[in-house]
A and B are shown apart, each in its own frame.
Chain A
Amino acid sequence: MPVRADSLRGLRAFQRLVKAAVTRPLAPGYRMQHRWSDGRPMASVAAEFIKPNDRLTSFARLEIYNRMYWFRIIDSLYEDAPGLRAALGERKFSRLAVAYLTKHPSRSFTLRNLAFHLEEFIRAEPRWTAPRTALAREIARFEWAQTVAFDEAARPVVTPADFARANPARLRLGLQPYLSLLVLEHPVDRYVLAVKKRDTLRAEASHATTSARPAPRIRSVPLPRRERTWVAVHRLDNMLYYKRLEAPAFKILTALREGATLDRAVAAAGRGVTPEQVQAWFALWTQLGWLCRRK
């Protein structure tokens, strides 16, 4: 029976049905599944709402949209996650992407936010990334931090004068929204950087395929070994940067982000940190524009 859209309620039901069909995971070979969720042949379900023409069946017309949906969102995730792709391999990454996007379809007007729940998903469903789940989670966090650093808002920075006239027992500083602080069990920053360099080299090599010389063999990047690292992912002059931090510096910044007063944040660094070190860190963070007024 044809699906109607001649009332607001009908239109809503119509759009729910079409959306469910368009976003349904593809079958192997990147084709549309041949059975609908209730077991009916997909060809007869498609024929209920899509007209065929003399070249394409209803099924084939719906399949164009079904394939475009998956190609578009997987491509988007693919571009945002070069490190995760390299660590898992293309096939495994593809399976993870489909599982993730099925459970977490986009809820944002922009594809920029597509990977927002990826780390949480990897933690909840480790079977897609095993035996590299711990590493995959860290890379997903790191790559999301890059998205944030790229275009998140900046707030007015604090100046040395703000420090000079403030009482450290009362002063609470904010950190820029685009700055992410990550404690990692693997040096993911260096790994992702190496993967990007390799990808650039591969692209250069493919541009050079017309040359008489054979393209150089480009080795894959070895997976990082365990090594605890403290990293800030940020931007400066609108360029992305990763900065390694010492553990006490990381603790101070974390305490500031959590709302501690300046003197309590400094105390969070623990013993063994000299006032000169703390001064040098704050001078650098001020220069980098990381410190801002709290909202």
Chain B
Amino acid sequence: MPANAFNGRTDYGIGIGLRVPHYGHILEQKPVVDWFEIISENFMCGGGRPLEVLDRILEQYRVVQHGVSLYFGSTEKPDREHLKRLKALVKRTQTPWLSDHLCWGSVDGTYTHDLLPMPYTRAAAKRTAAKIRHVRDSLEVPICVENVSSYAEFHASEMTEWEFLSEVVEQADCGILLDVNNIYVSSKNHDFNPYDYLNGVPHHRVGQMHIAGHTKFEKYLLDTHDHPVLDPVWQLYAHATRLCGVTATLLEWDDRIPSFNEVHDEALKANRFIAEAKTARKQTTAHARAR
């Protein structure tokens, strides 16, 4: 299941986010990294150092684009200029798939720059799916939508978050960027079982996974991306890998960023769980054949 239509039939391994404090190390030391994820918005500019660095990275590495401002769940139509710039970047990076969040954040042309949770309604799912299809057709690249962390639930919701995610991706016929840390954070904030979430999404649509660290406050968890991955999140990741197969995985570390090697070593811990999932899968297949 790792290579599917939603990740451009690629078989990427473990990647990390391309972040400014690591530019020097990457460009000088050229460390072995399977792939980098870039934040599209940081490179949707006309020129200068961002694009110079990107071009040098592209000479050496595989890059996948991840966005924070398409706001598939906002009711307004995608901005044409935004899509034009994004398409130019897609051509530049040759990203095999592109991801953004299942959220909203802009209203009447103003932006909150936040990933606001959706009200989980059928009307919202229909509108969101239509917007994803529009973006995919404009950009001509497979789309994966990422579940976000949230700190609020709405009375307006008619279904669970995982039912909403499933409804959207089925209607849009798109992929899922499964963020297991976000599932864990939201499960604690909203008192649901994260394994119900993982079991409830269409596994064949998962094109990529995210892992990250978060911060515990007295009354809620915050998705801060400034820590190593916590053990319960690794356990969820292992379960997700058993369900979905070995999938392109990326560690997000966006604040209080340590050295490149520390970030990369943390990401590579995923190999342990990938190996376990592979063994479990082989055993299952062997059992099935023996029968």
Contacts and interface: CB of A to CB of B under 8 A. Distances in A.
Contacts of A105: 110-111
Contacts, number: 144
Contacts of A62: 152
B52 interface: yes
Residue of A10, A54, A62 most packed against chain B (CB within 10 A): A10
A60 B151 CA distance: 10
A177 B46 contact: yes
Interface stretch (B5-13, B116-124, B244-252): B116-124
Contact of B154 (A5, A76, A153): A5
A111 B191 CA distance: 33
Interface in A178-224: 178
B221 to A, nearest CB: 11
B35 interface: no
Nearest to A62: B152
Nearest to B44: A110
Interface residues of B, number: 45
B50 interface: yes
A176 to B, nearest CB: 9
A109 B79 contact: yes
Contact of B46 (A11, A16, A55, A153): A153
B108 interface: yes
A295 to B, nearest CB: 13
Contacts of A8: 75, 123, 127
A203 to B, nearest CB: 14
A19 B156 contact: no
Given A11-B123, A238-B52, A108 B153 contact: no
A12 B108 CA distance: 9
A65 B105 CA distance: 11
A150 B49 contact: yes
A158 interface: no
Interface string A1-39: 011111110111011101100110000000000000000
* Chain A contact patch, size range: 35 or more
Contacts of A50: 152-155
A154 B52 CA distance: 12
Nearest to A46: B152
Residue of A3, A58, A107, A110 most packed against chain B (CB within 10 A): A110
A112 B68 CA distance: 14
A217 B155 CA distance: 55
A244 to B, nearest CB: 22
A282 interface: no
Contacts of A239: 49
Given A62-B152, A151-B48, A154-B47, A11 B220 contact: no
B191 A53 contact: yes
A61 B46 contact: no
A10 B113 CA distance: 22
A54 B116 CA distance: 22
A61 B47 contact: no
Contacts of B123: 5-8, 10-11
A6 B154 CA distance: 12
A64 interface: yes
A239 B52 CA distance: 11
B99 interface: no
A108 B111 contact: yes
A169 interface: no
Q: Which 4 A-B pairs have the closest CB atoms?
A: A153-B46, A151-B45, A151-B48, A5-B119
Interface of A: 2-8, 10-12, 14-16, 18-19, 22-23, 48-51, 53-56, 58, 60-62, 64-65, 68-69, 72-73, 76, 105-112, 149-154, 177-178, 235, 238-239
14 contacts: A4-B156, A12-B75, A22-B114, A48-B155, A49-B155, A51-B153, A54-B191, A55-B220, A72-B114, A111-B113, A149-B48, A154-B47, A178-B47, A178-B48
